[in-house]
Amino acid sequence: MQTRLPQAPAALDATLWLPVTVARYWEALGAVPPQYSASGAFLVGEPYRSRPCSITGEILETYDGFFCIGPRHHNDSKFFAVSTDLTEPEFLHLISTFPPTP
């Protein structure tokens, strides 16, 4: 099931949270040190992509985003990945409006 995030800036309208397995979540978290990490949400990846940020207008590196609802070591937790690469300000905006709506 794909979910769309509410009230995102126009450039982020198509951003979806895609369900991922717990294994994929932990694999991404362990790949390289996260660019940003807090409360089960993190940005990860090598900063070789950049583009204008839809929040600041600056050219910034982009990363892959992940989020967990519930304790990361609990069987009932749900794990998500962002459908597109994001800048840190864009990701911070998206997680500030989490959880997504169906």
pLDDT, tens digit (0-9, with 9 covering 90-100), for 21-61: 999 999 999 999 999 998 889 999 998 899 999 999 999 99
Cα 59 from Cα 37, distance rounded (Å):
21
Amino acid occupying residue 24: R
- Is the pLDDT at 5 greater than 90? The verdict is no
Range scoring the smallest mean pLDDT among 31-45, 57-71, 72-86? 72-86
3-state helix, strand, coil in the chain (%, to 5): 20, 35, 45
Q: 88: alpha, beta or left, given left = phi > 0 and alpha = psi -120 to 50?
A: alpha
Average pLDDT, the chain: 81
**Amino acid 2: pLDDT:** 45
Where along the chain do its domains lie? 3-8+15-96
Full-model pTM = 0.78
